[in-house]
């Protein structure tokens, strides 16, 4: 009896493959992960890297949006308070302009508007987590300072007019700020600080120059409307950011589900494959054992 040596070699090679397959399937079953290395499934491994990169981008945007969302909310709240203060100042000025107040009352109006001016200055210098939000990109410098050496007093802006944006994973750019100069100084005719400083000076002596005071009151009304317009920009950014954050959250959920489906092992299928592989391995071992036994019987019958 002659045993084909290549037949034995093929059996051993098949046994090696079965053992390797058993190890792979056992690893998948214990870890729950189908693709454990690049060689296991190069295409799936490449897709997994792409999905993980997209998920990472979504996580980065979510982290950034959480921070800037707080900043936008603070900016909106501050401008809402500014609108309230300016409305009160206009009401006080209108009362002083009707010509029925005595000198003491007019001076009192001046002091009250001066208090409003200081409150608006404080709101214009609002900070969030240590950064000034109305200074453009000059977030570490107090945006507005008051010079009281003249009458009317002057207000200077120390920031810049740069606008910050946050880009979404889809490429949309969301405006994150409006410069303090644009909001509170405007173009001159709609300057919040200009109008307030003028009104404080108009009533400080107790004598009202009605024409001038009415003009300055109208200027403050114009400034109030302008602030409200700038607040709309902030409100729109909040709306856009909320929508983008919701979209990114949904996208991440879908990407995570796809990544899980791609990489997760099908336990039922793997268990079946493992059982078949173990059966195949046992059968191969039995065949190899029989071949070795047959070879030994043959050689034992040869003459010495």
Q: What pLDDT, in 10s, does the model give residues 153-210?
A: 889 999 999 998 999 988 999 999 999 999 999 876 789 999 999 999 999 999 999 9
Q: Domain of 107: which CATH number? A: 1.20.1330.10
Q: Measuring CA to CA, which residue among 226, 221, 189 is closest to residue 79?
A: 226
pLDDT at 61: 86
**pLDDT bracket for residue 55 (50, 70, 90):** confident
Dist CA 268 CA 122 (whole Å):
66
| 12 in any annotated domain | no
Contact 243, 213 (CB under 8 A): no
| 39 in any annotated domain | no
Contact 86, 120 (CB under 8 A): yes
Greater pLDDT, 189 or 6: 189
Dump the DSSP string for 207-270.
Answer: ---HHHHHHHHHHHHHHHHHHHHHHHHHHHHHHHHHHHHHHHHHHHHHHHHHHHHHHB--HHHH
pLDDT at 135: 94
Residue 180's Cα: distance from chain center in Å? Answer: 23
Average pLDDT over residues 119-137: 95
Average pLDDT over residues 269-280: 61
- pLDDT of 287 over the 80 cut: no
- pLDDT of 16 over the 80 cut: no
Greater pLDDT, 266 or 227: 227
Q: What residues contact 258, with CB distance under 8 A and at least 6 apart?
A: 51
**pLDDT bracket for residue 89 (50, 70, 90):** very high
- pLDDT of 303 over the 60 cut: no
pLDDT at 43: 72
| 224 in any annotated domain | yes
| Cβ-defined contacts of 209-215 (< 8 Å, 24+) | 210/97, 210/99, 213/93, 213/96, 213/97, 214/97
Largest CA distance in the chain: 142
Greater pLDDT, 97 or 48: 97
pLDDT at 206: 92
| 78 in any annotated domain | yes
Dump the DSSP string for 115-146.
Answer: HHHHHHHHHHT-EETTEESSSTT-TTS-SEEE
Give the model confidence (pLDDT) of 249-264 as tens digits.
Answer: 898 888 777 766 666 5
Dist CA 137 CA 117 (whole Å):
24
Average pLDDT over residues 91-103: 93
| 156 in any annotated domain | yes
- pLDDT of 139 over the 60 cut: yes
pLDDT at 88: 97
Average pLDDT over residues 33-43: 62
Helix axes 5-31, 267-300, angle to 10 degrees: 150
| 56 in any annotated domain | yes
Residue numbers of the domain that contains 246? 50-259
What share of the chain has pLDDT > 90, as a percent?
Answer: 49
Average pLDDT over residues 66-82: 93
Dist CA 29 CA 267 (whole Å):
6
Greater pLDDT, 148 or 242: 242
For residue 38, give Cα distances in angstroms to 42, 73, 123, 196, 259. Answer: 5, 46, 57, 69, 15
Quote the DSSP letter at residue 191.
Answer: -
Dist CA 205 CA 67 (whole Å):
47
> Which letter, b or e, does each residue of 142-174 get, where b requires 16 or more Cβ atoms within 10 Å of its Cβ?
ebbeeeeeeebbebebbbeeeeeebebbeeeeb
| 279 in any annotated domain | no
**pLDDT bracket for residue 299 (50, 70, 90):** very low
- Joined together, the tokens standing for residue 198 give 């003028």
Least confident window among 44-58, 245-259, 282-296: 282-296
Tally the domains of the chain. Answer: 1
pLDDT at 255: 79
| 273 in any annotated domain | no
pLDDT at 58: 82
Phi then psi for 34, rounded to 5 degrees? -80, -45
pLDDT at 285: 62
pLDDT at 1: 47
Across the chain, what does the average pLDDT equal? 82
């Amino acid at each position: 009896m002659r045993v084909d040596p290549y037949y034995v070699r093929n059996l051993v090679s098949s046994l090696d493959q079965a053992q390797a397959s058993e190890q792979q399937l056992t690893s998948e079953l214990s870890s729950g992960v189908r693709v454990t290395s690049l060689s296991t499934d190069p295409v799936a491994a490449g897709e997994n890297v792409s999905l993980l990169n997209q998920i990472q981008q979504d996580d980065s945007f979510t982290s950034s949006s959480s921070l800037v969302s707080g900043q936008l909310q603070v900016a909106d709240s501050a401008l809402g308070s500014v609108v309230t203060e300016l409305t009160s100042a206009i009401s006080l000025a209108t009362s002083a302009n009707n010509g029925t107040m005595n000198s003491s009352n007019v001076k009192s109006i001046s002091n009250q508007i001066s208090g409003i001016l200081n409150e608006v200055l404080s709101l214009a210098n609002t900070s969030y987590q240590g950064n000034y939000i109305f200074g453009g990109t000059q977030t570490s410098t107090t945006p507005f300072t008051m010079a009281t050496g003249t009458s009317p007093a002057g207000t200077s802006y120390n920031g810049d007019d740069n606008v910050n944006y946050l880009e979404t994973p889809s490429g949309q750019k969301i405006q994150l700020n409006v410069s303090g100069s644009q909001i509170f100084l405007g173009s001159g005719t709609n300057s919040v600080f200009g109008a307030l400083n003028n009104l404080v000076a108009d009533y400080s002596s107790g004598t009202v120059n009605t024409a001038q005071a009415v003009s300055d009151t109208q200027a403050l009304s114009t400034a109030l409307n302008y602030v409200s317009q700038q607040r709309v920009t902030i409100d729109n950014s909040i709306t856009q950011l909320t929508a983008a954050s919701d979209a990114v959250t949904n996208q991440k959920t879908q990407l995570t589900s796809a990544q899980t489906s791609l990489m997760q092992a099908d336990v039922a299928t793997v268990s079946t494959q493992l059982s078949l592989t173990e059966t195949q391995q046992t059968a191969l071992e039995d065949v190899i054992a029989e071949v070795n036994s047959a070879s030994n019987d043959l050689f034992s019958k040869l003459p010495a």
